Amino acid sequence: MTCDRLVCANCAGPVSEGRCSVCRAQRERLQLSGPLGALSPALMALLLALAALVAFLAQRMATA
């Protein structure tokens, strides 16, 4: 998730502008979360399932 479209509940301004301390804290937290913080839980689950499928297929190919 990015802070581009988030609206602060404290000042009703865009979080990306950092108008108040709540905005600035949220923006900092989002920036520290790293690249995987931008992924939704559903997308993470899909990537995990895809990785498991690839590992399964690689194992099957190695034994055949």
Positions of the chain with pLDDT lower than 70, given as ranges: 1-3, 33-39, 64
Alpha-carbon gap, residue 3 to 33, rounded angstroms: 12
C-alpha triplet 37, 43, 45: angle, nearest 5°: 105
Q: Any residues with CB less than 8 A from the CB of 40 and at least 6 apart, and which?
A: 1
Given this model, what pLDDT does residue 47 score? 93
Residues pairing with 7 in the sheet: 14
Q: Any residues with CB less than 8 A from the CB of 7 and at least 6 apart, and which?
A: 13, 14, 15
Given this model, what pLDDT does residue 54 score? 97
Tell if the pTM clears 0.85, that is, is over it.
Answer: no
Given this model, what pLDDT does residue 18 score? 86
Given this model, what pLDDT does residue 2 score? 61
